[in-house]
Amino acid sequence: MNGVLNIYKEKGYTSHDVVAVLRKIFKQKRIGHCGTLDPAAEGVLPVCLGRATRLVDEISEGTKTYRAVLLLGVETDTYDMEGQILSEKNVQLNFSEVCDCIYSFRGEVMQVPPMYSARKVNGQKLYDLARKGVEVERQAVPVHFHRLEIMKYDFPEITLEITCSKGTYIRSLCHDIGEKLGCGGCMKSLLRTRVGRFDMEDAVRLSEVKVFAEMGRLQEILTTIPDLFPALPRVKTVSGCDRLAENGNILSMDCFESQGISEEENRLIVYDSEGRLIGLYRRKEQRDEFLPDKMLLED
């Protein structure tokens, strides 16, 4: 099967656990998730099947939205409640101080990834090094907080709603807020409510996927590859250009059955003359030619 499942990952599962379960249900190996969630976190985890695995990077590039609980006064080695507590403090801060600090992280900031993360340094995953008691210098990277709001204030616990760029660590945000306030802080819980176009309201749990499989209705919960790009024009090649398209060649405007492609259209979903999905094509600088962007033809 080819497409994307909007999975609701429950607590206790790793993202790899989810993929392993789905491989058994679908009886296919080509399955990959879009954006790791820690075992203690829950929420939206898009999972690509078959040819859609070629789109994992593209789906992962989208913004992500989270509901996180920040706990002030507690600092841990993992920046969340799963790790070892390093310090605990009695926090004396007023509402205005906390708000000003949190809102100062809006926009683009430089963030250092936590040691307990899958980020690699010199080819080694940081969490592998951390488990050996080795701490290495990590380079700060730019991340963007498009939205950062306080949803509930129950001091010292503060519920935040966050929309951010790819590669952002909410654990690091909680740690950095605590550090800036001078009292320490960590993430108490995390719920991912959205990844790109995939929303929590439409997500299905693994137990529900199994039920759909037993009823032979898996297609009902699968987002097809073309449906991932509802705004893109869908065009067919003329029969004489089918081979060119299948081989991933540059296609001129003459290769398409429809010549009504506007100059504003920079990306197309291309099918051959028989209606088989070929892939995504992107317009070249020369305005009458399109380059293969993502080839999605069945191997």
Which are the catalytic amino acids?
A: 38
- The burial of 1, by beta-carbon neighbours within 10 Å (0-12 exposed, 13-18 middle, 19 or more buried), is given as middle
Cis peptide leading into residue 156 (ω within 30°)? yes
- Alpha carbon distance 52, 225 (integer Å): 6
- Alpha carbon distance 16, 82 (integer Å): 19
- Alpha carbon distance 195, 9 (integer Å): 13
The set of residues, in sequence order, having a beta carbon less than 8 Å from that of 91 and lying 6+ positions away, is 72, 73, 155, 156, 181, 183
Name the 3-class secondary structure at 75: strand
291, 293, 298, 299 alpha-carbon torsion, rounded to 10°:
80
- The burial of 201, by beta-carbon neighbours within 10 Å (0-12 exposed, 13-18 middle, 19 or more buried), is given as exposed
Residue 279 — φ and ψ, nearest 5°?
A: 160, -170
Which of 24, 31, 26, 17 has its CA nearest to residue 219? Answer: 26
**34 C-beta neighbours (distance < 10 Å), count:** 27
